[in-house]
Structure 1
Amino acid sequence: MRNTMKFSIIIVAVITSVTVFIVEYINKSLSDEVVEEKSDQEKAEDFAKKMKPKVEEHLHKRDIHHFIKTITFEKELTINPMGDIIIDGYINNEPEKFGFSASLQYRAKKIGSMSYDPELSYRFKDWDKFKDEPELKENYLKRLSEKEREQYLKDIGEKE
């Protein structure tokens, strides 16, 4: 009976020790993952900082009418499931109207793609390519209010 009692105490002590060891191991593993995530976020932020001038250069190349006065980047960025770093921003202090998004490819060290709000996209449109179809520009202008139409024509350099 005494041996059974000693054996039971030893078993309980071993099980407790193993449980404590496993819990500590799991906690350490989880904290290592958090540190790794943070370093990925920091890497993404550093890469985005380096790529912002290239994004600005890309926007200025698209800006054939020299409409861009200021470019502002949002502070937060995201990493999509494919590993691309997404940075958002806007032009001329109008985030609701002239927003853009750039997908940066970390491994390739380049801009993967860019998207623009519709109004910003129209500011980049080269209407000279549609000389044979003037109704396209007219149809676009007709859908704008008088104030918006006037502003648009100023933005593309057709009005003072």
Structure 2
Amino acid sequence: MKNTIKLVSVLVVIIIVSVTSLITQHNKQSKSNDVVKEKSDQEKAEELAEKMKPKIEECLRKEDIHHFIKTITFKKRVTIDPMGYIVIRGYINDEPEKYEFSGSLKYRTKEIGSMSYSYELSIRFRDWEKYKDEPELKENFLKNLSKKEREQYLKDIGEKE
């Protein structure tokens, strides 16, 4: 009787260890599959970003009514935001701190969802002709700039050589 109890106890322990081992193995396998899936999503995002770069350049040049853009540089890192948009970032004229932009791409429709620009870049795209009835707006804006910034801004928008 004692031997039977010992044998059953040993079998129960072996079964528990085996089941625990199988569950652990299964969890490790699941996690590795998730990592592979994330990587493939990132690869897909990078492929789409590469295909969409010419469209983003076209969009930037369309906004550049003063022909300020000389070079467009895209950053290497492409991200997927929580809403599922693929975000590609870059900068203009070799000045990443000053003239940044980002584009949100829609994966399903393969189009640009939105574009955003740093303040410095957005004012280079400003069309002062829209405010020709209110010239004081431009004057007030220019007064807020230092002499050096004002000269550079006017040069950038093609009003000064």
Scaled to the shorter chain, the TM-score interval is over 0.9
CA distance in 1, matches of 2:141, 2:102: 24
Match in the other structure for 1:78: 79
Amino-acid identity (%): 66
Q: For 1:15-72, what per-residue CA distance to the aligned partner results, in whole angstroms no more than 9, with x for missing partners?
A: 1111111110000000000000111111111111111111000000000111100001
Structure-2 residue corresponding to 1:25: 26
Q: What is the match of residue 58 of structure 1? A: 59
Counterpart amino acid of 2:126? K
Q: Which residue of 1 aligns with 2:115?
A: 114
Runs of 4+ in 1 over 3 A off after TM superposition: none
How many pairs are equivalent? 160
SS of residue paired to 1:2: helix
Amino acid in the other structure paired with 1:85: I
Matched with 2:98 is 97
**Residue 88 in 1 paired to residue 95 in 2?**
no
Q: Residue type of the partner of 1:41?
A: Q
Tell me the amino acid that sits aligned with residue 34 of structure 1: V
Distance 1:62 1:142 in 2: 24
**Which letter does structure 2 place at the counterpart of 1:102?**
G
Shift, 1:158, TM fit:
0.8
Distance 2:96 2:149 in 1: 16
Structure 2: gaps (5+ residues): none
Match of 1:42 in 2: 43
Cα deviation 1:103-127 (Å, max 9, x = unaligned): 1111121111111111111111111
Letter of the 1:83 partner, please give it.
G
- Taking the aligned partners of 1:58 and 1:86, their CA distance within structure 2 comes to 15
Residue type matched to 2:66 in 1?
H
Inter-partner Cα distance in structure 2 for 1:120 and 1:134 = 21
Distance 2:131 2:36 in 1: 54
Q: Within 1, Cα distance between the matches of 2:83 and 2:62?
A: 27
CA RMSD of aligned residues (A): 0.8
State the secondary structure of the residue aligned to 1:89.
strand
- List alignment gaps of at least 5 residues for structure 1: none
Deviation at 1:159, TM superposition (A): 1.0
Secondary structure of the 1:102 match is strand
TM-score normalized by structure 2?
A: 0.97
